[in-house]
Chain A
Amino acid sequence: QVKLEESGPRLVKPSQTLSLTCAVSGGSISSGDHYWSWIRQSPGKGLEWIGKIYYSGQTYSTPSLKSRVLMSVDTSKNQFSLKLHSVTAADTAVYYCAREGGDYDASGFYHYWGQGILVTVSS
């Protein structure tokens, strides 16, 4: 059973950088079978796909956030990370990490999710 767990600061000041890490257990990032993603949900709002990363470090990001997003992967620790630069109050959200695909399919749906971490941008 794949498990994902987000960690990082829950309060970030405006204009600073939001940094989160997703620890993966029950599956290996370096297997290369799946992409690993970040998705966020502003309070009371819908889901927004941020981007995804492969074990090789190849990344894809949504155009509206691409200029501020940096994703990385650490296969030795079986974890991947998100940095979002120059944050504003609009970046306040629950941030989820998730694995693309199910147990037998690597397509871009999400069967496995972390529990989510609420990050608030405020001075």
Chain B
Amino acid sequence: EIVLTQSPGTLSLSPGERATLSCRASQSVSSNYLAWYQQKPGQAPRLLITGASSRATGVPDRFRGSGSGTDFILTISRLEPEDFAVFYCQQYGSSPITFGQGTRLEIK
């Protein structure tokens, strides 16, 4: 089973700043099948990125995914008030599918 470790656990930033979230896999993610999600309280996760770097339909271009192999990054270029939430990475390159433990992005 691939273990995904996200860092930092909590990130405190202000609107307009740049956010950088990390997801590290315990072994290489096949075909870079790595997705990112945003989750707000009381809601289901929202898909942001697939295949490590492809934005899902309707996702603003300030969200950018990058990386390959075992190291992946989600960058939010200029934080908007609605961006503050918990973010999860997920690998779907091998079974079982696994998720990271999440990074909480909070307003400073």
A43 and B47 alpha carbons, distance in the complex (Å): 21
User: Is A54 part of the contact surface with B, judged by Cβ < 8 Å?
Assistant: no
User: Is A80 part of the contact surface with B, judged by Cβ < 8 Å?
Assistant: no
Known: A46-B99, A49-B97, A49-B98. A109 touches B44 (CB 8 A): no
Q: Interface size bucket, A side?
A: 20 to 34
Which B residues are CB-close (under 8 A) to A108? Answer: 33, 92, 97
Partner of A107, one of B44, B92, B102: B92
A49 and B98 alpha carbons, distance in the complex (Å): 6
Question: Which residues of B are in contact with A by a Cβ distance under 8 Å?
Answer: 1, 33, 35, 37, 43-45, 47, 50-51, 56-57, 88, 90, 92, 95-102
Of the 9-residue stretches A13-21, A26-34, A83-91, A113-121, which lies at the interface with chain B?
Answer: A113-121
